Amino acid sequence: MLVATTLQLAHGEVAKVLETHSMYKRDPWRRWVRTLTFIQLTVQANSAQRSQIVAWLNRLHANIRLFEFETNVFVLATIAYGLAQSHQALGAFPTGEKDAIVSSVMSMADKLSADDRRKPVPTTFSAVEKFLAPQLSSVHLRSILASMSALLDLAQKPRFSTALRRPWSWAKFLLLRTLARDISLRVLSPPTAGEPPGALLSLARIFQPFWYHFHYSACPRVLTLAGLFETLVGCDPSLNTVVDDVHREIFGAPPVGKFAPSEAHLPQLPNGVAGAAPAADLTNQSFIAAVREHLKCAYLRTRLAGPGKQLPRHLGVIMDGNRRFSRQHGLGSVLEGHRLGARRLLQFMTWSFSVGIDHLTVWALSDDNLKRGHEELDPLFAMMADFTREIVMGDAPLAVIDVRIRVVGDRSILPAALNDAIDAIEEATKGEKKLNLQFALGYGGRREVLRAVKAAVQARAHEDSSTIEEALSRLSPGDVSKHTYSAESGVPPMDAILRTSGEKRLSGFALWESQECELSFVAPNWPGMSQSDFLSCLVDLAERKRRFGA
């Protein structure tokens, strides 16, 4: 954030607006907390909520030409540049992650106004760096560094009474300020070869891998968005009201429940309240539990990175236990369990491609599930349609990147609105390559085998110009394998299947492909599954010696 702000202050027009309109001069931290709150709400909002946010921005800046598309691109480019470079300065940075972070941030550029849809923006790190080159040149570097120093000076004014009452908060703040300065100098003024990074930055680098978690927790907690909120509010209790004030300005009411910045990377599903933890939000952890989880994940990722480990190329997942989770936690509605399950799927996808799994097939709805009553199925179908539109298709600002979505199963038994959403998502993601994700909807293993056999017989009869009876006599297992859903989607057959909720059966999932699959069963219900549960399964699967029936 400090890198982004200093780059913005080096831009004449943007600097003029920031210096004259914002609270930087009289209360910089309140201004930054308001900005952070806006970012949180925008990230979490669905389409309807984002329209309210845009209307609020337009009211707030009615006389300021700041929120034009070109300026939005510049501001987001500074954020993307600072975020990517800062993460690299902290070390333990996956190959290609710079482009992923830049693409994620820049995807917001055309979403504040419908008129800006599909306008070109820089979406790779090299493109952003080239775009910002005038501000990053040696001519501007001096003014940029001076702006950064000025911002840090503004943040130095101590509130002694608060510091005495909350010494730990102020200690964290001073560490944060020093580390932010070290990182910013390293980003804005790259060191010469062999120059040591400095004691605090070196220490952060040492511990950073323990906190690394794909994208948002890529640095110690105090540097995450959640940690920044906690530190700033701890230093100045008067900032406690900022979140409520911004939420009230936009939506007309304060957030319901505790504001949950730790979940910022999970956009709200429709009917949720942006910026507020849903009534069923049981994902928050205590600080000690979060530390324990991070350390477990760090250890398990180290195990996965060891020699001789073979991860599944194509993982099948039976997402079982949403309804049981709802009942066990008294959520009032099974749909709340499904909502939390949808949020867990977003996390699961990032866990999967962060370790190198290329193909996922997740069983979301069986053909037997369709025997449930309309009072449960109709809201579930509506939620699935909203899920694809709001989150996976990229209507949310931080959508999952480079994921190709396909739906397998008997779509004739699904409602028309859901099929329309499926058609749209398959078309929108057909060019993506980072992860192949198949949703099994209206899926049954017997139906798949029967369908594959019929298709194989017809194909054999056509190829040989033979009768159906003759084609049947020459039918082989290989012929049937060519017509499974995976084969027709162009992905390899499943080599492992994971099921949650403690049930130790496949229930007909992937009947044909599961013959040589490795199986893993975990006790938590799907919404309650943690990343360490997932990584433990992967370690177990990767260390098995597959014999393929021999």
320 belongs to the catalytic site: yes
Nearest-angstrom CA–CA distance, 151 and 1: 11
Choose, from 369, 395, 410, 419, the residue flagged as catalytic. Answer: 369
419 near 343, Cβ under 8 Å?
A: no
What count of Cα atoms within 13 Å lies in the side-chain half-sphere of residue 368? 7
pLDDT at 269 over 60: no
The per-residue pLDDT for 493 is: 94
Mind listing the pLDDT tens digit for each residue in 28-81? 667 777 877 776 676 666 667 777 887 887 777 665 555 577 777 888 888 888
Q: Report how far apart, in Å, the C-alpha atoms of 347 and of each of 192, 214, 510, 526 are.
A: 38, 10, 23, 12
- Describe the crossing of helices 2-9 and 167-188 by its angle, rounded to 10 degrees: 60
pLDDT at 162 over 60: no
- Describe the crossing of helices 69-90 and 12-21 by its angle, rounded to 10 degrees: 90
**Average pLDDT of 453-465?**
92
Grade residue 272 by pLDDT with cuts at 50, 70 and 90: very low
What count of Cα atoms within 13 Å lies in the side-chain half-sphere of residue 393? 21
pLDDT at 438 over 90: yes
Nearest-angstrom CA–CA distance, 227 and 121: 30
Percent of the chain's residues with pLDDT above 70: 67
- For the chain, the first-to-last Cα distance in angstroms comes to 57
Nearest-angstrom CA–CA distance, 335 and 105: 31
Choose, from 182, 320, 367, 533, the residue flagged as catalytic. Answer: 320
pLDDT at 546 over 50: yes
| Helix (H), strand (E) counts: the chain | 24, 6
The per-residue pLDDT for 86 is: 79
pLDDT at 158 over 80: no
Mind listing the pLDDT tens digit for each residue in 390-400? 655 555 444 44
In this prediction the pTM is 0.64
The per-residue pLDDT for 8 is: 74
Q: Name which residue leads in pLDDT, 467 or 295.
A: 467
378 belongs to the catalytic site: no
Mind listing the pLDDT tens digit for each residue in 87-105? 777 765 555 667 877 876 7
Domains, the chain, ordered by start: 2-260 (no CATH), 310-542 (3.40.1180.10)
Grade residue 266 by pLDDT with cuts at 50, 70 and 90: very low
Mind listing the pLDDT tens digit for each residue in 223-249? 445 555 666 666 666 777 887 888 888
